[in-house]
Amino acid sequence: MFVLGLDPGLSRCGYCVLDVAARRPRAVALGVFRTAPDLPVPERLAELLADFRGLLEEFPPASVAVERVLFQTNVRTAMGVGQASGVLMAESAQRGIPVREYSPNEVKAAVAGDGAADKEQVQEMVRRLLDLDVAPRPADAADAAAIALTHVAVLPLGRSA
């Protein structure tokens, strides 16, 4: 059984697929989808969607966890994050996959024990919780893993998102 965590973004979208069938979650796919900033937004969204569909086909998740889009000072970045998030959530819903959103503070509290934890603390806790040799890089991948771990901690297996 797989749980998919997503840190949405238009330039970089972090993803982490956790195999939660064993006693301890194990990352089976961890990385970042990238789109070229010089492409028009519709093409970038289409590229992101194609990459996402490929991941869903390879690792069909029981549920998807997404970082909730919060206000950012850079409106252009916030728009891209919102657009990417919408495409990912819509595709998941279209496939009947339950989706749940988590705020950055919820994720930090669940993974690092402190809602104000910094990126390095979150990355180190992800490394430890997933028994990785090194902390995931870039930060988008580590954030996606933290979101997936939060989802597993919050919702016992067998319950929908």
Which residues are designated catalytic? 7, 67, 140
Extract the tokens encoding 128.
């430890």
DSSP string, 118-154: -HHHHHHHHHHHTT-SS--SSHHHHHHHHHHHHHHHH
C-alpha 18 chain-centroid distance = 11
- Per-residue 3-state assignment (H helix, E strand, C coil) for 39-60: CCHHHHHHHHHHHHHHHHHHCC
- What the block records as the tokens of 126 is 């992800």
Place of tokens 């979650």: 25
22-54 burial: b if 16+ Cβ within 10 Å, else e: eeebebeebbbbbbeeeeeeeebbebbbebbee
